[in-house]
Chain A
């Protein structure tokens, strides 16, 4: 696509993932749609069980039984990820869309040298780069994430958490994918290291011109890192918009409560928790899943599920479009 509108890197439409248990289907992801723009950083926040990690895993087609992708489309360039054959999907992984999984620092094979694990990823997708050429490529990748090229000869247990995180990053960009999904990439790191690791990730992203989906629950990290933010609740995307506006003027009552519950360096001795509990995904309440906890619920909320609709639109750029799934915001303004 050309023109004023931003180019879309990945378009997700009506994604549904259910886990089939003896007690019924757990609707982990229920109709999630969003566009990821080229080169942008999109955040996905939500509490545990809100479906953010399941969404990420579904895009990588890594949902395991009893989980199943029930429906949806995920258009990445010419590829529709959800309808590829298993072998095609294997080839697409990390070549077109890559993942820094949660806890990547503990996901490296303990008995293989780090360099071999980077090389593995490359060899799985390309014919025959070997020997000296491969070694040079691994070295370059390690330098790219600010690690010494000699790190290739080390075993994971010889590296610190932050270094292993960087190795995960090097693997995720090894094949220059268009989209990188990073699932809580810094949650196990100390704040000081966290900042350094995120700085590296975004520098590398810029050099590759890739788009990033950052999955997490730390609103502070999101505020500092992403361009647009999606808020998930009970398997649904309830709000999506530019991060600054979303934080300053949240549209959805859940987002509003979430933002006001955050600690800041302005208020002391004041706590605003969200009352109530997230709903069961096995037997969600009728209507809007948030209505039992919503202070602004109106009549329709108990019966009708609100769809994600555009609240603030701009013809020029999808980057400033704001969407919310709430009966309080049905009309489009601009």
Chain B
């Protein structure tokens, strides 16, 4: 892989993170009233402090976080903080640092999401490919309609139905949580099985509602690819249809599919945040939900930056792997 490609791609990574962080910084500051200040005043008034006291506390707080500085200084300082993953102190769980709260939740989300997304991607892509193959068994084609219907349902709504059906009505699975309440996280086999058991229904809701999307786009790509000259030529050369399918059609149809995997990660994250709320899963989504409920701004903004960072990382990795799949790409910009 040429070095300039790598450099360019890493630059893109930083641009994405920078853009996300910047939006995060400026948006609350462009609002008519500073919501952070408002929230601080509100929190303090619950404490019964007088008006002048409150202003004093807020002023101290602002001085400590540099909120009284000129905007550009605040911005520079903020970028420095982001680089160190320091998002300030949680208002609701004072004095916990926002980054600690998020970092504790992040592995849960990443674990659930990565595994569920990859399963959905693999299953959906295979299914989509088979749907486009004239020789695939007929029953597969009957699968496409329900798959399409499932892909039209948002993740979290499907999650609701699954909780109700599998958890509440049939009592096969727990109603929520990442592990059985009362147990302590420990590196034991029993605990791992418990985590797995708790993740099946939330994972299922992600897989079920996104597998149709993958199947559909893969089928579309396969149909397009099967009209390509190189597939016709492979067939004309007397290659076995299995070879034509796997070595010529599938291989090429996978390329755009892989590109959209990176993009889809972002959308899955959005949807999965809500899945966590439905399942009270101890991930970033639940942290975000609670933060919104309590107007815990530093945690909210921290979550946003962390998730953007994670996604930018995933796209970076995929883009670095991509030239290995497509020999033409290294030459393109």
Contacts and interface: CB of A to CB of B under 8 A. Distances in A.
Give yes or no for direct A-B contact (beta carbon below 8 Å). yes
10 cross-chain pairs, A with B, having the tightest CB-CB distances, nearest first: A93-B238, A107-B233, A107-B229, A109-B230, A155-B327, A124-B239, A121-B237, A90-B238, A94-B238, A157-B328
B326 interface: yes
A111 B238 contact: no
Nearest to B237: A121
Contacts, number: 72
A253 to B, nearest CB: 36
Interface stretch (A31-39, A98-106, A291-299): A98-106
Given A124-B243, A157-B328, A62 B236 contact: yes
Chain B interface size, as a band, is: 20 to 34
Interface residues of A, number: 27
B331 interface: yes
A112 B236 contact: no
A167 B325 CA distance: 23
Contacts of A110: 230, 252, 326-328
A107 B232 contact: yes
A45 B255 CA distance: 40
A238 interface: no
21 contacts: A60-B236, A62-B232, A90-B240, A92-B238, A93-B238, A98-B237, A101-B229, A101-B236, A107-B229, A108-B230, A109-B247, A110-B252, A110-B326, A111-B252, A111-B327, A112-B248, A120-B239, A121-B238, A124-B237, A155-B328, A157-B327
Contacts of A95: 238
A108 B233 contact: yes
Contact of A101 (B232, B251, B327): B232
A90 B244 CA distance: 12
Contact of B255 (A101, A111, A157): A111
B6 to A, nearest CB: 20
Q: Which of A62, A91, A92, A107 has the most CB of B within 10 A?
A: A107
Given A103-B229, A107-B230, A157-B327, A112 B247 contact: yes
B319 interface: no
Contacts of B238: 90-95, 121, 124-125
Contacts of A62: 232, 235-236
